Structure formats: structure tokens, C-alpha cells
Amino acid sequence: MDTAVISKYQDLAMSYVAEFGIKILAAIAFWVIGRWLIGVVVRFVQGGLNRQHVDPTVLRYVGSAVTVILNVLLVVGILGYFGIQTTTFAALLAAAGVAIGMAWSGLLANFAGGAFLIVLRPFKVGDMITAGGITGVVHEVGLFSTVILTPDNIITYVGNNKIFSDNIQNYTSTQFRRVDLKAQLSAAANVPEAIAQLKANIAKIPNVVAEPTVDVEILEFQLVGPVLAVRPYCHNDHYWQVYFDTNRVIMETLAAFPAPTPSQMLTVVQK
């Protein structure tokens, strides 16, 4: 092949490479600058809502929605810069709409569930709940999932649709919560005296509320003796402190009473 022809093709290839390289660098610059601008816009929107004292649950949800929408627009803009017709791109997405819809059915259900959670407000950020089989403090209600911090300090993501379609228990929405415990007595114990001492001692535990008063009643009977239901009340923030302190007080109080010891009766028959 003639040297001039080879040189011509080399120059043409170099021009294409240079042009494509410039576009790549420009696209990277657009992406970096665009992401920075998106962060500025999201902070501006959240700051404006925060000044209006909007609930943190709504604040974070709106921030997530704005971030997703602006990122989609940024990607479409970069594709347009490369000469990819966004109308053609949209037509391809529409043609594949059925398949995408089926594949994303769960994702869309989670999105709809998140919208309903924001509108109906069964809980808010900071509430202690049990939802979707998870118990913990609500950290964030996102577009597709709710972030829950469990008592053992584990961040758990639960799909919004699973939460919305299941039972939701909100422990923070009421002023107090009941602690349910049991105490085993011996059949030889003075039951009224044990009940009176337990009520008096448990009422002295820090953060046990005065109203409702502590409940200590006979719950059931075992072979070794009656079983007491011990039920103090406290604010949700102090639940575990009251739970463990009540167990300690039960042990200390009942130490003065006969221990519940299993017994057996043997009948000897002589022939």
C-alpha cells in the first residue's frame, strides 16, 4: 500500500481518536461538575425545607427523590453530548417497557410503598418500631427501602412494600410501654407478701412511671407454685434499663422467700 495512503489513514484515525478522547474527557468533566451541582441543589432544597421545619422523614425522602431525578437528567444530557438521540433511547425503553416493568415490579412496589409511608405517616425518623419482621429505630425512609437501626447496632434495609403490606408496631407513639416479666414462687411462699414487696421495690426503680402503677398478679400455677406476672411501665427510651433492673429486683426480693424447688412424691408399695 502506498505510503501516502497509509499516512492518510493514520491521520484520519488519530483525528477520530483525538475527537473521541476530547469527548470522553468532556463527559467526565460534565459528570464530575454535574454531580457537584446536584449535591449543591439537594443541599439547597433540604436546607429550605429544614428552615420550614419539615419533618426529617419527609426531608430525606425529598432529598433522595431529587437526587435520583437530577442524576437521570445528567445521564441523558451526557448521552446527548455523545450524539445518542435521547428520543431513540426513550423509544427503546418504551419498547422494552413490559420486560422492564416485570423486572422492576418489586422496585416500583417499594417506591409506591415509600410514597404511602410518607403520606400516611405510620412512623417517622427516630421512632422505635417493629415492621417487616425487624425491630429498631427508624434511621431513614428512602425511595425504595427504610433504614432501621436494630438494638444490637446493625443497620438493616427493609423494602418499603414489605413494611407497608405488613403489620407495623410503633412503640414511640405512646407515652409509656409495658415491660412483661414473670416470677416463679414456691408453693410454701406467702404470696400476698411477695406481691406487696415486689410492687413496692419495683416502683422504686429509676424511670418506672407512677401511673399506671406496677402490676404484680398471679398469672398461672405450676407444680412448684404460682407464677407471678410482673409488669412495670416506662417510657420507650428506658425499656431495656427497666427490663434488666426489674429482673434484678425480682431476684433480690424473692431471695427472702422459700426457693421454688421441684419435688416428687414417691409411693412405696410393699407386697
Distances (CA, A) of 145 to 99, 183, 191: 23, 41, 51
Check pLDDT > 90 for residue 236: no
Residue 16: how many CB atoms within 10 A of its CB?
Answer: 10
- pLDDT tens readout for residues 188-214: 899 999 999 999 999 999 999 999 999
Amino acid at 149: L
Q: Which residues does 66 contact at the CB level (< 8 Å), separation at least 6?
A: 41, 42, 45
Residues in the chain: 271
pLDDT at 57: 65
Instruction: Give the position of cell 422494552.
Output: 96
pLDDT at 59: 66
Collapse the DSSP code of 208 into the 3-class scheme (helix H, G, I; strand E, B; otherwise coil) and give the result. Answer: strand
- β strands within 127-194, DSSP E: 128-131, 134-141, 145-149, 155-159, 168-170, 177-178, 181-184
Buried b (16+ CB within 10 A) or exposed e, 201-227: ebeebeebbeeeebbbeeeeeeebbbb
pLDDT at 106: 67
CA–CA distance, 118 with 55 (Å, rounded to integer)? 10
Q: Report the pLDDT averaged over residues 121-129.
A: 90
Q: Which residues does 118 contact at the CB level (< 8 Å), separation at least 6?
A: 57, 58, 61, 141
CA–CA distance, 197 with 31 (Å, rounded to integer)? 70
Model confidence, pTM: 0.59
- pLDDT tens readout for residues 239-248: 999 999 999 9
Pair 253, 193: CB distance under 8 Å? no
- pLDDT tens readout for residues 18-76: 666 677 777 787 788 878 887 887 787 777 767 766 666 666 767 777 777 777 777 77
pLDDT at 116: 85
In the chain the domains, ranked by start, together with CATH numbers, are: 3-95 (1.10.287), 107-170 (2.30.30.60), 177-254 (3.30.70.100)
CA–CA distance, 115 with 161 (Å, rounded to integer)? 10
CA–CA distance, 113 with 161 (Å, rounded to integer)? 5
The radius of gyration of the chain from alpha carbons, rounded to an integer in Å, stands at 33
